[in-house]
Chain A
Amino acid sequence: AQSVTQLDSHVSVSEGTPVLLRCNYSSSYSPSLFWYVQHPNKGLQLLLKYTSAATLVKGINGFEAEFKKSETSFHLTKPSAHMSDAAEYFCVVTGTGNQFYFGTGTSLTVIP
């Protein structure tokens, strides 16, 4: 069975400091993993996707994530937070077929 655990429900960082959003996954096979971002009252936007080609995945807006199979983790990072990064972030693992399993989300606050 597939599942995702986002370890922090809320993260606050100061503008210009690094961002770390943590995600652990469970999967019975080689999954695809995604990070999506949702700004208030908006749909979900794809940040990046891991599909076994490379363990370090670069996404949009300076975000990247590293797949660590030994730790079953897929943490999202950004070197320097911007005010516009304030949003809800979701880690996703694929299941059988096309079903996506979403984490419970991490709310990122950026303090000016």
Chain B
Amino acid sequence: KAGVTQTPRYLIKTRGQQVTLSCSPISGHRSVSWYQQTPGQGLQFLFEYFSETQRNKGNFPGRFSGRQFSNSRSEMNVSTLELGDSALYLCASSLWTRETQYFGPGTRLLVL
């Protein structure tokens, strides 16, 4: 089976812009979670989608949003980018909730 894929792998944006990241889960997996990884804050949970519904949300501002499509693919969007949004964004998929999560390679976002 193909693993979790994330596109694009690298992005450079400027402050104030918005960005959309994409995640394709492992075939058959219905849960997709998103994480932000920075040197200062470590790995932080953004949100989880299961069957097109947001199940959990971390402590991030409303500028961070996401959605899941009927084929389980997921996108996350960050509006009005700030310098502090520079990070590695990781997507993970699992069959069901509380199951093992399998991570993609991440999208590295740099905000200038």
Q: Mark B71-104, 1 if CB is under 8 A from A, else 0.
A: 0000000000000000000101010011111111
How many chain B residues sit at the interface, stated as a range, is 20 to 34
Q: CA–CA, A96 to B57, complex, Å?
A: 11
- Nearest Cβ on chain B to A38's Cβ, whole angstroms: 9
Interface on chain B toward A: helix, strand, loop, or mixed SS? strand
Query: CB distance B42 to A105 under 8 Å?
Result: yes
A36 in contact with B94 (CB, 8 Å): no
Task: Tell me whether A44 and B103 are in contact (CB under 8 A).
Answer: yes
A102 to B31, CA, bound (A): 18
Q: How many residues of A contact B (CB 8 A)?
A: 21
Q: Which listed segment binds A: B12-20, B48-56, B60-68?
A: B48-56
**With A43-B105, A44-B90, A105-B42 known to touch, is A98 a contact of B97 (CB < 8 Å)?**
yes
Across the interface, which residues of A come within 8 angstroms of B102, CB to CB? 46
Question: Complex formed: what's the CA distance from A1 to B31 in Å?
Answer: 22
Q: Which of B33-55 contact A (CB under 8 A)?
A: 33, 35, 42-45, 48, 50, 55
Q: Contacts A34-B100, A43-B90, A102-B43; is A97 near B105 (CB within 8 Å)?
A: no
Complex Cα distance, B100 from A96, in Å, reads: 14
Q: Which residue of the partner chain, among B43, B45, B55, B100, contacts A90 with CB atoms under 8 Å?
A: B43
Chain B contacts for A98, CB-based, 8 A: 31, 33, 48, 50, 55-56, 94, 97-99, 101
CB-CB < 8 A to A44: which residues of B?
90, 92, 103
- The yes or no answer to B106 lying at the interface (CB within 8 A) is yes
Residue contact A97 to B103, C-beta cutoff 8 Å: no
> 1/0 contact trace for A75-102 toward B, CB 8 Å?
0000000000000001000101111111
Q: Provided the pairs A98-B33, A98-B56, A98-B94 are in contact, do residues A43 and B42 lie with their beta carbons within 8 angstroms? A: no
Q: Please, which residues of chain A bring their CB within 8 A of the CB of B42?
A: 102-105
Given contact pairs A99-B56, A100-B33, A94 touches B103 in the complex (Cβ within 8 A): no
Q: Write the residues of chain A forming the contact surface with B, with a CB cutoff of 8 angstroms.
A: 32, 34, 36, 42-46, 49, 90, 94, 96-105
